[in-house]
Copies of this chain bind each other. A is one copy, B any other.
Amino acid sequence: MESLVEQMHRFFDPKSVAVVGASRKITKAGHVIFKNFADNKRRGIFRGELYPVNPHEEFILAFRCYPSITEIIGEVELVIIVVPAKVVPQIMREAAVKGVKAAVIISAGFSEIGNHKLEEQVTTIAKEAGIRVLGPNCLGVYDSHTGVDMLFLPETKVLTTGDEVVATPRPMAGHMAVVTQSGAFGASALDYLAGKQLGVSKFVSFGNKSDIDESEMLSYLLHDEKTWVILMYAESVEAGREFMEVAREITKKKPIVALKVGKTNAGARAALSHTGAIAGSDSIYNAAFTQVGVVRAGDMEEFFDTGKALALQPPAVGNNIAVVTDAGGPAIMAVDECELKGIKVKEFSAETVQKFEELKRDGTIPSFATNLNPLDLTGSATSEMFEQGTRIVLDDPEVHGVIVIGLHHVPALEEDFVDRIADLSKSYSKPVVACDIGETEMALYIRSRFDKFGIPAYTTPEDAARAMAALVNYGLHLKRSGSFEQYLESFQKRVKT
């Protein structure tokens, strides 16, 4: 029998694809999806065979069009269905005849609006024919590496002024997989990730989960080498026991970050009317996630911030963090947030303080720098001070991670403090995250330079603290599950390549 990985692989790297409902009308979803594939095939990114299916057309974008799947001569591994809901059962029957093994049903109009019978009809056909189904009512799959792109939302829009602007961009290739129950959230996530220059390996929008659910998708992503971190948006998690078993295995090797919504009574009611999801008690989700090592994000921003931290930095081996800064106030904000998240910012050891005092005596750092944790280099800070101070902190065996809050505004600080800290951190296996505040040129430059060198950088001290908390909590879970060393080894191997 086929493995789950083989089954799932067809959705992400099919040897042949038929788009049923492909269209020449550019406003149609069937046009956008077919064009995505056709463009990627021309560019050599998508390497599979491609077939448009539409009984009313002869050619679409210079591809010969077929009246039905069964008329296609070659093999069809995957069908993408973009026709009205009521026609879908007929298409699925044809797919069964053709021997198709994977179907993505983009079309809406099933259980999400109460048409449970129609959805059952489709799943029954699929089950009998051995067709795995993603959807219905979903955005499908986007894979940055294989050129599979089922996103039908317009990549650009034309404003009333006549200007064409980017509306739903594709993020750059990277190592975060995004798995979402909500298509709308998924679309906006792509926009957010693209703008923040966060790289994505695979994007999957589930919709109604009539067949494939998050547990199977997660199992598949465990085996995907391009995926280092899994970001999962969910309104409900079906098959809780199965999910927990799967998640428990995955989190030994890859972090899963969950944005589980419907936390409150009113939110759960909204989720129920949105996807029919029975959200269940939030405290049960919390307990379950903690038990199996899923990192839960408090809100949307923390969701992506955490993903970035886990993709770029190793987990922490303990829960005591140091803050190195040139900005006393923002450092306090980070310390507050650490402690609120259960992370310690203990006073430095006498030995470490002694080292700072030596730096003061030889004039390397200002005599009035405070050095109990945070290490505050003050507005006189230079790159040299940041490097020396951070080195001492990283050398302290009681410090398990470092938050660098290097506000660029102070007069003597040059941008090479970023390079120095990045270089330095390579000699340690402790996580380092950074913060610079501001939204104009220099702040954007500093943050993206940190990111480029693999130190995740954030806009606010609290965001940086939350990211560090995730690295601590994931590290503690790895230790509890006896997989810390193994994870660290594979982490270090992959960031080197």
Contact = CB atoms under 8 A, between A and B. Distances in A.
A199 interface: no
A173 interface: no
A133 interface: no
Interface string A474-485: 000000000000
Interface string A186-212: 011101101110000000000000000
A409 B153 contact: yes
A150 to B, nearest CB: 15
Contacts of A182: 327-330
* A interface residue count range (under 10 / 10 to 19 / 20 to 34 / 35 or more): 35 or more
Copies per complex of this chain: 2
Contacts of A339: 264-267
A297 to B, nearest CB: 11
A490 interface: no
Interface string A324-335: 001111111101
Interface string A268-291: 011101110000000000000000
A233 interface: yes
A165 B270 CA distance: 46
A249 interface: no
Nearest to A113: B368
B409 A187 contact: yes
Contacts of A152: 411
Nearest to A184: B327
A172 interface: no
B332 A270 contact: yes
A411 to B, nearest CB: 6
Interface of A: 27, 29, 108-109, 112-113, 152-154, 157, 159-160, 165-169, 180-185, 187-189, 191-192, 194-196, 233, 235, 259, 261-267, 269-271, 273-275, 299-301, 323, 326-333, 335-340, 344-347, 367-368, 370, 372-374, 376, 379, 407-411, 414-416, 436-443, 445, 459-463
26 contacts: A108-B379, A157-B408, A165-B441, A169-B440, A183-B379, A187-B410, A188-B327, A188-B409, A188-B438, A189-B437, A191-B409, A191-B438, A191-B443, A192-B438, A233-B329, A235-B332, A261-B336, A262-B332, A270-B328, A270-B331, A274-B331, A299-B333, A299-B337, A300-B461, A301-B459, A301-B463
Leading 5 A-B pairs by shortest Cβ distance: A195-B439, A182-B329, A191-B438, A184-B327, A188-B437
